[in-house]
Every structure is written in C-alpha cells, then in structure tokens.
Amino acid sequence: MIMKVQSQRTSNRKKNIRILLISVVFIALGLLAPKAFSVVSQVVMSPFHATSNWLRESNSLIPTFIRERQELTAEIEALENELQIAQRTTITRQRLFEENVRLRGLLGADEENRIAAGVIARPDTLPYDYIQIDQGTESGVEVGAPVFAGSDIVIGLVVYAAREYSFVTLFTTPGFNATVFVSGPDVVANMEGMGGGVARVRMPQGIAMNLGNLVYVPSIEPGVFGRISHLENEPTQPEQYGFISPDIAISSLHTVAVGKVSQISRSVEDIDQNILEELLSTLVVPGVGLTVSSSTASSTATSSVETETEL
C-alpha cells in the first residue's frame, strides 16, 4: 500500500515537472517568436474579444445591466465617501458654531435688537429691487438700517421710513455700490447692483474667484450677502466678474428683520468724533472747569515738568 502511494506521488511529481517544463519552453518560444504568438492568439481570442467588446459597448439588456450595475456601485462608493467627508465637515461646523456662540456671548455681541417686519410690497407692485415693509419710525426703523433675511443674510438698507411703513432698497439695485469681502480668494472688492436681483463683483484677472465663494458685507455685522453663482472670465479682458444672486428670491420674502443703523460700521474718524462727543456730553459739566496739575521730579534731574490740562 505504502509503495503504491509513494509511486503515485513520484509519478505525480514527474507529471508536474513535465508540465512546468513544457510551460517554460512555451514561454521561451513566445519570447523568441512574439509575432507568431500574437497572430495565433489573435485568431484564438477573436470570439472572446468580440464577446468582451459586446459586454463593454453593446446596448443589449445584459451588458447594459452589468455596466449600469458597475456604474451604480462606483457611484454608491463615491457618495458614501462624500457622506463621510460631509459628516466630518458637519461636526467641524457644529464645533465652530458653538465656539462662535460662546465667544459672542463672552463679548456681549448677542445684545442686538432687531425689528421683525412683514413684506407688504414686492417688485411686482414696486420697481424691481425695492420692497416695502410694514414697520416704520413708530417701531424704531431708521433710514440706513440694514435689513436681514434670516439671521445673517443682509439684503439691503432702509431708504425711506414713514411712521408705519418703510421702503428698502436691495443691494442688487442698479447703481448700488458696496465694498464686499469675498471669501475663498479672501479679497476685498467692489460690488455693484445690476438690477433684476443680481449684483456683480469685479476683480482683476488672476484672482482665484470660484463658484460658491461667500460674499460678505463687512461694514454690517453679521453680513453675509450671498454666493458667487456665475463667473464671467474672459482671458483677454483685464477684469473678471462674479455674479451674485441672493439665496432667497425676492418673491419668497415674507418677513425680514430690520437692524439698527449702529450696526453699520463707521470710519475711524467718525468713531473718534463720536467718542469725543460722548466724552464731552457726559464728562463736562457746564460752568465748571477742572484743572489737573501734575509734576514729575527725580533726584538726578534738575528741572521739573509741569503739565496743566483743562477740560
């Protein structure tokens, strides 16, 4: 029995070696005469080649099914990857939002008064890029106050305030100019209203402005205006244009919030002037003069400095 098994193993080994040797000889022949092998393989493989092409290109049921299945599988994989990335981004966004709320709370930036107002007339009854709201000076609406749609999307300014109603001009009004900050390329640019619910930012060529870049109005806090929704970039022109249309259509505006004029930043000179006026109004008592005298002396100095200040 053992002898029989051993002889079977020996014969198997011999067979294996023979097959491997024949294979090696064939490979060597192929290397010596690749052209002949190619011709033979083309003839032998022609039906398989045709079938493979049919599977790859045909519009028949089975190949289409296989291809679509593969495409769908690839799409599912790509979408799953995108979802993973988006989930991570959402966590980051939430963390940043909470941090922002906490910091704003620490700085006392939440004490912001807004007036809720309903939109009572839109561009179908008013000229385009104007809206009328149902709150006026009685409610504290001031000319020049920013108008928000949502919590932080600023859409325009109050241009006229009657007792019970006001008119708002949108940033997209023709001829309206504002300095804006475009995130992404992180540049300050001039935005001009084009009418029809569209505003335009112009920039020199070479600045990487992209679709979806956020446009802020930095003089108003918080002042997101919208996203770049269309680009016009002719390489032969010195400037490129980004068109912005607000995320909320004017016809969809139902309620807005009116901020305070104080939310609009002023120039440094204005701020200095305001501070001086505030100091004068609170610290100076009419008819009373204050004299402050101070002297500085040191043991080595021979002179003294005397300053006299009168407010």
Q: Which is nearer to other proteins, 27 or 279 (CB)?
A: 27
Give the nearest distance from C-beta 79 to other proteins in angstroms: 21
Of 186, 137, 178, residue with least CA distance to 156: 178
Give the nearest distance from C-beta 232 to other proteins in angstroms: 42
Give the nearest distance from C-beta 83 to other proteins in angstroms: 23
Q: Which is nearer to other proteins, 19 or 208 (CB)?
A: 19
Yes or no: say if 181 and 215 are a contact pair by the CB < 8 Å rule. Answer: yes
Give the nearest distance from C-beta 35 to other proteins in angstroms: 9
Q: Which is nearer to other proteins, 30 or 185 (CB)?
A: 30
Strands (E), 14-135: 115-121, 130-133
Q: Residues 6 or more apart from 115 whose CB is under 8 A from it?
A: 135, 139, 140, 141, 257, 258
Give the nearest distance from C-beta 63 to other proteins in angstroms: 10
Partners of 179 in beta bridges? 190
Q: Which is nearer to other proteins, 18 or 95 (CB)?
A: 18
* Contact positions vs other proteins (CB under 8 A): 9, 12, 16, 19-20, 23-24, 26-27, 30-31, 34, 37-38, 40-42, 44-45, 48-49, 51-52, 55-56
End-to-end CA distance of the chain: 124
SS3 135: coil
Partners of 293 in beta bridges? 308
- Measure the CA–CA gap between 220 and 187, rounded to whole angstroms: 17
SS3 148: strand
Q: Which is nearer to other proteins, 48 or 300 (CB)?
A: 48
- Measure the CA–CA gap between 241 and 231, rounded to whole angstroms: 6
Of 291, 193, 284, residue with least CA distance to 246: 193
Give the nearest distance from C-beta 245 to other proteins in angstroms: 45
- Measure the CA–CA gap between 122 and 128, rounded to whole angstroms: 8
Q: Which is nearer to other proteins, 52 or 89 (CB)?
A: 52
In the structure encoding, which two tokens stand for residue 159, read together? 């241009």
SS3 302: coil
Q: Which is nearer to other proteins, 38 or 113 (CB)?
A: 38
Give the nearest distance from C-beta 6 to other proteins in angstroms: 13
